[in-house]
Amino acid sequence: MMDIVYSVDMDFVRPVEAVIPGVQGRVLAVLAETTAELNLRTIARLSGVSHAQVSRVLPGLVELGLVDRREAPPSSLFRLVPEHVAAGPLVALARGRDGVIAEMGKAASALPVVPESVIVFGSFARGEADAESDIDAVFVRPGSIDESDEAWADSVEHWRSRIGQVSGNPVEVLEVGSVEISARLSSRQLVWNDIHRDGLVVHGRSLDELAETRVG
């Protein structure tokens, strides 16, 4: 009998909880997002779990040394210990979207054929990408490169594969020539309206800058 494998992609809205499920993940997500000391009631409210559940989780995290507890009657205050070996990876995970964005630009700059621009759009650009989201990007091809150029195609595929590995999510790339930008922006296609409105430039120039260059 064949085993069925279910693929679960990365949730960039709740990245810590995606890796550390349950109450513990929710509590750690809250603590990883701030350097401030928080009382138990605030942690429960921000994490969306009950006061009792947080009370059961925090002592174990304090015992691990990952969370510091300070008595400030009538409350106890908690914070993530930044020096702890697990704190750095935890904070990086909480800011996973920023890490992927940085890698997008770095990977684009290192390609054999460097695009004029790479612009991410859709849910990832809006900060709404969850475990069911793809990552959508526009690759702007230099005017000197033909769309059938094999080196260009290999570069696009290399970037797509690399970002898929880094993010854990499927990556879809929309290619367009730099000479086509003005026409695409003036079209009534919904996808280009979305790209123009929500697009996040991770490499190169914005679509408006590219269009102005061509007009000039």
CATH number attached to the domain at 95-215: 3.30.460
- Check if CATH label 1.10.10.10 holds for domain 15-92: yes
- pLDDT values of the chain reduced to their tens digit, one per residue, 216 residues: 333 333 457 899 999 999 999 999 999 999 999 999 999 999 999 999 999 999 999 999 999 999 999 999 999 999 999 999 999 999 999 999 999 999 999 999 999 999 999 999 999 999 999 988 999 999 999 989 998 999 999 999 999 999 999 999 999 999 999 999 999 998 889 999 999 999 999 999 999 998 887 544
Domain ranges (residues) in the chain: 15-92, 95-215
User: Which among 94, 131, 95 has a CA at the least distance from the CA of 8?
Assistant: 131
Global pTM value: 0.83
Is residue 137 classed as helix, strand or coil in its secondary structure? strand
Dist. CA 101–CA 165, nearest whole Å: 13
Dist. CA 162–CA 45, nearest whole Å: 37
**DSSP 8-class letter at 169:** S
Beta strands, E only, 81-166: 117-121, 135-141
How much is the pLDDT for 214? 57
